[in-house]
Amino acid sequence: MLFRWFYRFFLVALATGLLTALLVVFAALVTLPSLPSLETLTDYRPKIPLRIYSADNLLIGEFGEERRDFVKIGEVPESLKQAILAAEDDRFYQHYGVDYIGVLRAIYSNFKAGGAHQGASTITMQVARNFFLTKEKTLTRKFSEALLAFKIEHSLKKDQILELYINQIYLGQRSYGFSSAAQSYFGKKLTDINLAEAAMLAGLPKAPSRFNPIVNLERAKTRQQYVLRRMHELGYISAEQFAQAKETATATAIHRRAKIFAMPADYVAEMVRQIVYDRYREEAYTRGIKVYTTLRKTDQEAAYRALRKGVTDYDARHGYRGPEAFLELPKDPKDREALQDIMQDIRNSDDILAAVVLSATPSAVEAFRKNGETIRITGDGLKAARQFLGNDPKIGEKRIRPGALIRVKKTEKGNWQIVQLPEIEAALVAMDPNNGAIRALVGGFDYHLNKFNHATQAWRQPGSSFKPFVYSAALEKGFTPATIINDAPLYLQIGGKTWEPRNYDGKFSGPIRMRTALTHSKNLASVRILQAIGPTYAQDYATRFGFDKKHHPAVLPMALGAGSATPMQMAIGYATFANGGYHIHPYFIERIEDEHGNIIEQARFATAGQNAKQVIDPRNAFLMTSIMQDVVQRGTAARARALKRNDIAGKTGTTSNAVDAWFCGYQKDLVAVTWMGFDEPRSMGNRETGGQAALPIWINYMATALKSIPVAKTLPPKGIVVAKINSETGMRDIFGTFNEYFFQEQLPPEMDYSFQDPDFTDQVESPLF
């Protein structure tokens, strides 16, 4: 009886199995023709983003839907391959797409756990899903996935499949593929990661958002430990390696945004992106285009540091304004995840970090940073904000208290101090004056807080930094640096209104040489020069330097820089003085390459002395440089003497009410312009001149940029003579010229340069009163 029962059961089971098998075969026959072609895999063309590099071949920007960096399987570290297999599919090299043992193991594990806690997808099945299928959890999708896995295994070798997986899988932070993820999470090339980092990356595919070490380091560590344990169990690593990786795991998985780019050059990267997109449209973001710029790492980093220091120094001079905002703290102030949630959308600005106050007294502030760290600020760290820590009724609601959003920064000694995000903005642009190659460009304090590019888009009054172009026009009209100008009061009628220009210090110097007028930025003498040569002539003359007439009206205030210009335009203008009188065009893209490294566009530029257009007489350029060297040595830019060089020249600029501050300066192979001001124009403060606000940025940049460049000695061009000058009349001494002074580094005060007219060698300029 029992035998008969077992026999019947066996027949039913056999029939059911055969029927199931037939149904599976039938389903496979029906489904197979509808499966997608594997051409996507066999001719794999990943979406490679637009990448932008410096002249040093260092990555400075990347744009695309997917952050991806394709890597060959042979370049993948063995430790990472083993970590991936341990985490995702340890029988990858044994099965044929579907791991039946793995399926049974998953069924048992899930039955034991009382739920679906373990999957059975192989790496091949994940490749099928990532390339061809959706992530919906249905039997139809799972069946198609298995069939595709068989098809893939039949068409590709195991290493090819693993290579596809390593490059295609999404791992969080917009990163597709392990090479891109290594950069995003650790700021490293894939070949440079260690075992602990490999294990953390291998733990991401299961749930990139859940195990993202930037979002939740603790969960990422837990997953990392699991991967390391599996690697040890499978014999991939020894007990010693396992123990060492566990110890180093915390140190390597840094809970911060890793630096993906080699230098801070976001403004230039965006300039490049706009140009490339205009030419290639959406393909710009997917076809792997590489753009090589003219930026140099040393210059760009120096410019970035100098600008931020200049801005923060200005901000410190004008005092702390109070907390940035007030946040609602969670009920439990020790709830780290809740604290992180309320700060999730608040950005740090490089080393100026956001923190929310947990407790505050006049002697100590405890605050929570968005990375999960609780910090304590005491002593000098409270100095800037001390008035906001007491009970002064004048402070009112701006008092620092629990929930206050503040900014903190570490001092050189490693202590925390309260700082703030500056409200003022600045820009710096530096270029090679001989060909226009941009060497550094910083368009603002922080691109992520203000994307407006002040270096190229900010039209501001140049103030006295525009005077050299007026003085150059005067030289062309027959003036010399020794021509006497009267620095005395002026009362003028302009547009029906009385205009009474004044010097910055409110004093008058009387009759002075033109050289002295520019050296000390005398406004009244400058207006008289423009009166003498005519505003229309000066307006036309300025176009030689690249200025547009419509931005510089032909009126007398033009002598004081009442028009408008961008820092980039000012750099182009000053480059003409630096290179001996040639007009150059700035460029920042050296070449563009396709995904295979073929050059598809190459920069074409004009070079001074070769194919660039000469727009002013080289003697004019030389004389202006000589005068502006005096500006540095004994004039309004005397601070620049800290560089201990006599080959630099330039001019400060401060507009009315100190709304804009400038310094435009150069050495024969490098010109740089710095600007500072508020986006909504307003006074920076009575003491904030070009020499006080903008010049220090220029000095700090040039100190690095010129560090390895020897001091240049420039000989006067033909047609320049040195003459002894009568200090009272400004006229040439009767004894004529002293050409031996050509080779002296500094002229004695009683000497000066002038043009030598070939037809009238004894020509003398009369004073202008």
- The secondary structure of residue 657, as a DSSP letter, is G
8 A C-beta contact, residue 409 and residue 420: no
Question: How would you classify the pairing of strands 290-293 and 50-53?
Answer: parallel
Among 409, 305, 317, 384, residue whose Cα is nearest residue 661: 317
Asked if residue 269 lies in contact with residue 58, where contact means CB atoms within 8 angstroms, the answer is no
DSSP 715: P
Length of the chain: 769
**464 in active site:** yes
Cβ neighbours for 468, distance < 8 A, ≥ 6 positions apart: 518, 574, 577, 624, 627, 628, 651
Residue partners of 518: CB distance under 8 A and separation at least 6: 467, 468, 471, 526, 627, 628, 630, 631, 635, 651
Q: Which residues contact 48 (CB under 8 A, 6 or more apart)?
A: 64, 68, 69, 70, 286, 287, 288, 595
**Residue keyed to tokens 């004039």:** 635
Residues 6+ apart with CB under 8 A from 169: 126, 130, 176, 177, 178, 205
> Rounded to whole angstroms, what are the CA distances from 43 to 37, 164, 598?
11, 11, 20
Residue with tokens 């409200």: 423
> What's the first-to-final CA gap in the chain, in angstroms?
135
What are the b/e assignments for 86-124, b being 16+ CB within 10 Å?
Answer: bbbbbebeebebbbeebeeebeeeeeeeeeeeeebbbbb
Spatial contact of 584 and 575, defined as CB atoms under 8 Å apart:
yes
Residues with Cβ within 8 Å of 507's Cβ and at least 6 positions away in sequence, in order, are: none
State how far the Cα of 351 lies from the Cα of 347, in Å rounded to an integer: 11
Q: Where are the beta strands (DSSP E) in 117-275?
A: 175-176
Q: How far is CA 92 from CA 50, 72, 125, 149, 657, in A?
A: 34, 18, 11, 12, 73
φ, ψ of residue 287 to 5 degrees: the values are: -95, 10
DSSP string, 551-584: GS-SSGGGGGT-S-B-HHHHHHHHHHHHTTSEE-
Encoded tokens for 530: 């423009």
Active-site residue (options: 144, 464, 521, 564): 464
Catalytic residue among 54, 79, 88, 121: 88
CA atoms of 119 and 113, how far apart (whole Å): 13
With beta carbons less than 8 A apart as the criterion, state whether 468 and 624 touch. yes
- Are 565 and 466 contacting, i.e. CB atoms less than 8 angstroms apart? yes
Q: Give the span between the Cα atoms of 729 and 367, in whole angstroms.
A: 68
Q: How far is CA 687 from the centre of its chain?
A: 30
Separation CA 509–CA 517 (nearest Å): 9
d(CA 574, CA 621) in angstroms, rounded, equals: 10
Q: Does residue 353 contact residue 369 with C-beta atoms inside 8 Å? A: yes
Cα separation, 579 vs 160, in Å, equals 56
Distance CA 617, CA 612 (A): 14
Q: Name which of 538, 571, 572 is nearest 557 in CA terms.
A: 538
User: If you write DSSP's letter for every residue of 428-492 in order, what string do you get?
Assistant: EEEE-TTT-BEEEEE-SS-TTT----HHHH--B--GGGGHHHHHHHHHHTT--TT-EEEE----E
Q: Which residues are catalytic?
A: 88, 464
